[in-house]
């Protein structure tokens, strides 16, 4: 099989490429990545892949990358809520226009499957006082930030290319992923790297906001199952699957766990105001993917977070050069 992985030098993308090459060493993988602040070629070190540096908004680059490809796995996106508030234009360009360019060329070259990776943030926010409520595949879209609005638009485009042009597609809407190779601008890696740099951790409000945390390899496993199911059964194409870790935690609970793992107390917490468009709670129902494909999260939050902390301790040469860029958002 020949795969094109857009954004394959980013966090989830690089973990997926590593996962796929280890499991399917005979498959050919091409990574298309612009190598922006969140794309790091060193995250792919040691892998036998083809790499194209380029922008998914550039039709000539995408045309070259898409030739002879069987499956497209589309990770490439601008993905930081704070950055989207400061500069929404690039989010619309990359996440909406870039996805449209990819879809056009996937149709042109008749790929067997276009898998689109999205987020649970397209669904908006759940109230803290109703823990029984969860997002699922039938939840209405209510994005609150320029980032989530641009991802919602890309989801709709992918479905439109399926419904209008019969392009075989699948989508995953995933909760907050965590794990190795995660840029230090995001909550878990920022808190880990701050503490490893003897800096306090900036916790919004009282840390009351809730997120569902999904270990990145669980998401990779889900995409793997979906791709192979869709290639075998056309009834799977056109389907969306919500992927979560069944690990809802308040931001304060996550912070306390990281502090404990690194031998720090709560004096290392620096309270900061809530950002604009800060959703209260995300939670994912995984009933559909469990029923249709037999997938369940495999990795526990506590064990995987400990492994993630250990990875950052052991790979400081990877993240320390990236630290200044992430600190610019404070």
Pair of tokens at residue 60: 């000539």
- Tell me the longest C-alpha to C-alpha distance in the chain: 57
Is 215 a catalytic site residue? no
Is 147 a catalytic site residue? yes
Average pLDDT of the residues in 23-42: 95
Q: Which of 120, 183, 185, 248 is catalytic?
A: 120
Percent of the chain whose pLDDT exceeds 70: 97
Residue with tokens 């308040």: 250
CATH architecture of 2-179+215-246+281-298: 3-Layer(aba) Sandwich (3.40)
Nearest to residue 206, comparing CAs of 264, 302, 278? Answer: 278
Integer Cα distance of 159 and 156 in angstroms: 5
* pLDDT at 277 (0 to 100): 63
- E strand spans, 45-168: 50-53, 71-74, 113-119
Residue 38 has pLDDT above 70, yes or no: yes
H-helix segments, 33-143: 59-66, 81-86, 88-92, 98-108
Residue with tokens 């840029």: 183
Q: Which of 147, 181, 215, 312 is catalytic?
A: 147
What pLDDT, in 10s, does the model give residues 51-103? 999 999 999 999 999 999 999 999 999 877 778 888 899 999 999 999 999 99
Task: State whether residue 269 is helix, strand or coil.
Answer: strand
Nearest to residue 192, comparing CAs of 319, 94, 16, 295? Answer: 319
What pLDDT, in 10s, does the model give residues 210-225? 999 999 999 999 999 9
Q: Which of 33, 55, 78, 121 is catalytic?
A: 121
């Amino acid at each position: 099989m020949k795969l094109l992985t857009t954004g394959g030098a980013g966090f989830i993308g690089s973990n997926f490429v590593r996962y796929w090459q280890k499991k399917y060493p005979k498959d050919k993988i091409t990574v298309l990545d612009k190598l922006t602040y969140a794309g790091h070629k060193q995250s792919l070190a040691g892998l036998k892949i083809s790499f194209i540096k380029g922008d998914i908004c550039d039709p000539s680059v995408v045309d070259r990358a898409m030739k002879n490809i069987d499956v497209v796995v589309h990770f490439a996106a601008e993905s930081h809520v704070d950055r989207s508030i400061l500069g929404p234009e690039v989010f619309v360009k990359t996440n909406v226009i870039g996805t449209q360019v990819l879809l056009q060329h996937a149709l042109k070259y008749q790929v067997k499957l276009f898998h689109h990776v999205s987020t649970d943030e397209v669904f908006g926010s759940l109230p803290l006082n109703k823990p029984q409520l969860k997002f699922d595949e039938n939840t209405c879209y209510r994005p609150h930030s320029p980032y989530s609005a641009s991802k919602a638009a890309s989801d709709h485009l992918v479905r439109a290319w399926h419904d209008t042009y019969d392009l075989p597609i699948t989508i995953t809407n995933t909760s907050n992923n965590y794990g190795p190779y995660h840029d230090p601008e995001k909550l878990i890696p920022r808190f880990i790297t701050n503490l490893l740099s003897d800096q306090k951790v900036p916790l919004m409000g009282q840390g009351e906001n809730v997120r569902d945390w999904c270990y990145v390899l669980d998401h990779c496993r889900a995409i793997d199952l979906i791709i192979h199911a869709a290639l075998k059964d056309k009834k799977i194409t056109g389907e969306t699957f919500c992927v979560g870790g069944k690990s809802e935690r308040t931001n304060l609970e996550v912070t306390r766990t990281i502090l404990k793992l690194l031998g720090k107390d709560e004096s290392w917490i620096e309270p900061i105001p809530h950002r604009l468009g800060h959703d209260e709670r995300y939670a994912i129902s995984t009933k559909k993917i469990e029923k249709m494909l037999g997938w369940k999260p495999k990795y526990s939050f506590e064990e995987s977070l400990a492994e993630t902390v250990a990875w950052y301790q052991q790979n400081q040469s990877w993240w320390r050069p990236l630290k200044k860029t992430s600190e610019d958002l404070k």
